[in-house]
Amino acid sequence: MKWTHAVAFALLAVGLAGCSKPKQVQPDTTAQAPVDSGAQTSGLGNETGPATGATAGAMSAAQQQALAALQSRNVVFFEFDSSEIRADYLSVVAAHAAYLTKFPTARVRLEGHTDERGSREYNIGLGERRAQTVRKALMLQGVTEAQITTVSYGEERPAVEGSDESAYAQNRRVELVQVQ
């Protein structure tokens, strides 16, 4: 299938750009086939560019270890129509803040998500609000603005399928993706 080619290009590109990099904490690497490369675009707005974490240089063993420890704790969940960080997830935010302040070259990408209820663009706004809440919490704990990027996917990228409360609860989230 055609996507094999796309993925092959993607893997090749990643391999060339980051041969000395440690494994990235990105649950959806294969979903990042470079679809943009085939687009005939002529963007007139400000370029934002994705956070690629393409900074060169090897990570210290200490940092690699700290990063690995964060891997199992990189999602903050939310109540319906709320962007308050629940008390049981404050420690997740604190762990990422500690890592980011200890390693000032590290970068985090905050991906805001909602469940599928309600209109889609409104949910983009809600996902952004959640990402911004986490961003502010990180900055209150000493993380610098330059270390953080945010993106909202609204309900467009659910973590799990399903139209019940259990699925909704798993989809209302901010993923903290350490990009370096």
Partner 1 sequence: MTFQRALARPKKKGSARALAWFFVLAGSLATSAHAQLRLDITQGVRDAVPIAVVPFGGQAEGGPNDVAAVIAGDLQLSGRFKPLERRDLVSRPTRGEQVRFEDWRLLKSDFLVIGHVVPEASGLAVEFELFNVQTGQRLLTNRLVTSERGLRATAHRIADLIFERLTGIPGAFSTRIAYVAVDGRPPKQRYRLMVADADGYGPRIVTESSEPIMSPAWSPDGQSLAYVSFEGKASAIYVQRLATGDRKRVSARSGINGAPAWSPDGRKLALTLSRDGNLDLYVLDLATQGLTRLTSDSAIDTEPEWSRDGASVYFTSDRAGNAQVYRVGAGGGQEAQRLTFTNGYNARPRLSPDGESLALVTLDRGAFRIATYDLKTRNLQVLTDGRQDEAPSFAPNGAILIYATRAGAKGTLAMVSADGRFQQRLSSDTGDVREPVWSPSPPAQR
Per CB under 8 A, residues contacting partner 1 are 1-3, 5-6, 27-28, 30-33, 35-36, 38-51, 81, 116-122, 124-126, 128-129, 132, 135, 150-154, 156-163
Nearer to partner 1, 66 or 135 (CB): 135
The least distance separating partner 1 from the CB of residue 120, rounded to whole angstroms, comes to: 6
The least distance separating partner 1 from the CB of residue 154, rounded to whole angstroms, comes to: 8
Nearer to partner 1, 65 or 119 (CB): 119
Beta pairing partners, 174 = 76, 112
Per-residue DSSP letters for the chain?
-HHHHHHHHHHHHHHHHTTTPPPP--TTGGGG--GGGG------S-----------SPPPHHHHHHHHHHTTS-EEE--TT--PPPGGGHHHHHHHHHHHHHSTT--EEEEEE--S-S-HHHHHHHHHHHHHHHHHHHHHTT--GGGEEEEEEETSS-SS--SSHHHHHHHSEEEEEE--
Nearer to partner 1, 67 or 127 (CB): 127
Nearer to partner 1, 72 or 163 (CB): 163
Nearer to partner 1, 66 or 158 (CB): 158
The least distance separating partner 1 from the CB of residue 72, rounded to whole angstroms, comes to: 17
The least distance separating partner 1 from the CB of residue 142, rounded to whole angstroms, comes to: 19
The least distance separating partner 1 from the CB of residue 94, rounded to whole angstroms, comes to: 22
